[in-house]
Amino acid sequence: MININKRHFLLRLLGLPMLSCTNSAQSVTTPPQALGPFYPSILPLDRDADLTMVAGKEGKALGEIVNLYGSIVDRDNVPIAGASVEIWQCDAFKTYHHPLDGGGTDPSFQGYGQTVTNEKGQYRFKTIKPVAYPGRAPHIHVRISTDSKELVTQIYVKGDPHNQRDFLLNSIADEKARRSLEVAFNKDTSGKTDELFAVFNPILS
């Protein structure tokens, strides 16, 4: 396991605030959620971990920029290296870059991204803070795949009032499991950046 001092050094090196990346608050595996209708029908050519810009296009995505990162472990708290991590979400105009939703409105928002966890089970994305659209609370879709396991779930914004009415989030009967999907989107307290930071540490069964 990475020690605290080394972890803080790595976070400073990446320019990330020293938020907790442990799973101590979670004692249950991360609950699954529906894949949904807007998983890409064709994976985009530009599908890296920075969703705030699109290769070959000028401009940055509209919305609040978020650094989303964390570590993925199994139920024994062993880091899972080499896991494929995918995220996708609607843009700041509440539309997905998918044919069923008009193909998206913001041409500078990638809409989908991929990365692979390192030897410590860590991953990182740059994206925008999710927004609500009719019938759904703000959320980011997540798909984690290994040789033997897969988890499809969603990240919700902790404290957002739409969470109380979201049918998918509230379909999770266990409160602790449900709350494990609600993630704080925090400002950098040092004032060095206006970007937000969110830590999501999934536990695979």
Which has more confidence, 13 or 131?
Answer: 131
Residue carrying the six token digits 């798909």: 143
pTM of structure:
0.86
Mean pLDDT, residues 115-119 taken together: 98
Say what the pLDDT of residue 192 is: 84
Say what the pLDDT of residue 24 is: 42
The answer on pLDDT for 178 being more than 60 is: yes
Phi, psi of 170 (to 5 degrees): -80, 0
Share the mean pLDDT of the chain.
Answer: 89
Sheet of 112-116, strand order: 112-116, 84-88, 139-145, 150-157, 182-183
Is residue 162 within 8 A of residue 130, CB to CB? The reply is no
Which has more confidence, 14 or 142?
Answer: 142
β-strand pairing of 73-74 with 203-204: parallel
4-204: CATH number? 2.60.130.10
Mean pLDDT, residues 64-88 taken together: 97
Mean pLDDT, residues 31-60 taken together: 94
Rounded Cα gap, residues 155 and 31, in angstroms: 11
Residue 89: pLDDT band (50, 70, 90) is: very high
pLDDT digit string (tens) for 147-165?
Answer: 999 999 999 999 999 999 9
Residue carrying the six token digits 């991929």: 114
CB contact burial 57-95 (16+ within 10 A = b; e otherwise): eeeebebbbbbbbbbbbeeeeebbeebebbbbbbbbeeb
The answer on pLDDT for 10 being more than 60 is: no
Tokens found for residue 179: 């709350």
Rounded Cα gap, residues 118 and 135, in angstroms: 36
Say what the pLDDT of residue 8 is: 40
Say what the pLDDT of residue 28 is: 81
Say what the pLDDT of residue 190 is: 80
Rounded Cα gap, residues 62 and 58, in angstroms: 12
Rounded Cα gap, residues 42 and 108, in angstroms: 18
